[in-house]
Amino acid sequence: MKHDTPEKGLHRAALARRTGCNLETIRYYEKIGMMPEPPRTDAGYRLYGSVHVERLRFILRARELGFSLGDIRELLALVDRGAQTCAEVKDLTERHLADVREKIADLMRIERVLAETAAQCSGDQVPECPVLDTIGS
């Protein structure tokens, strides 16, 4: 008997295929409590339903957007309690956005220094190297 539809329930491998998520990642999310415990068959196999698919997709999308696991836990807690407000979600999102902007600014500084340093480097077979001088100073 093949279980690969949400109505009948999905085995973990089918859940992984449906969501594009690694099996080990699903196990990890279960272990840390981000995924609800699925019901089991009489034989002990986990059967995931549409709730699990939606939750896993939510987690994966939040990870794609760079949210930390802690931030995702907070978002899921808001959703799970069913009384979330847009203000709460916006606050968390704006904090994350500030972190993203800070990382972008750091990367832009790194890019500028590397570009300037690489431009000073002759690339010749000589012992002097502006890149090493910059890193060493």
Per-domain boundaries in the chain: 1-65
Cα(111)–Cα(134) distance, integer angstroms: 13
Q: Which pLDDT score is estimated for 68?
A: 95
pLDDT, averaged across the chain: 90
Residue 63 has pLDDT above 90, yes or no: yes
Q: Which pLDDT score is estimated for 83?
A: 75
Polymer length of the chain: 137
Burial 5-37 (b: 16+ CB within 10 A, else e): ebeebbbbebbbebbebeeeebeebbeeebbee
Q: Which pLDDT score is estimated for 121?
A: 83
Q: Select the highest-mean-pLDDT range: 5-9, 13-17, 40-44.
A: 13-17
Asked: is 1-65 a CATH 1.20.1600.10 domain? The reply is no
Q: Which pLDDT score is estimated for 127?
A: 80
More reliable by pLDDT, 121 or 70: 70
Cβ atoms of 35 and 55 closer than 8 Å: yes
Residue 3 has pLDDT above 90, yes or no: no
Q: Which pLDDT score is estimated for 55?
A: 97
Q: How crowded is residue 76: how many other Cβ atoms within 10 Å of its Cβ?
A: 18
Quote the DSSP letter at residue 4: E
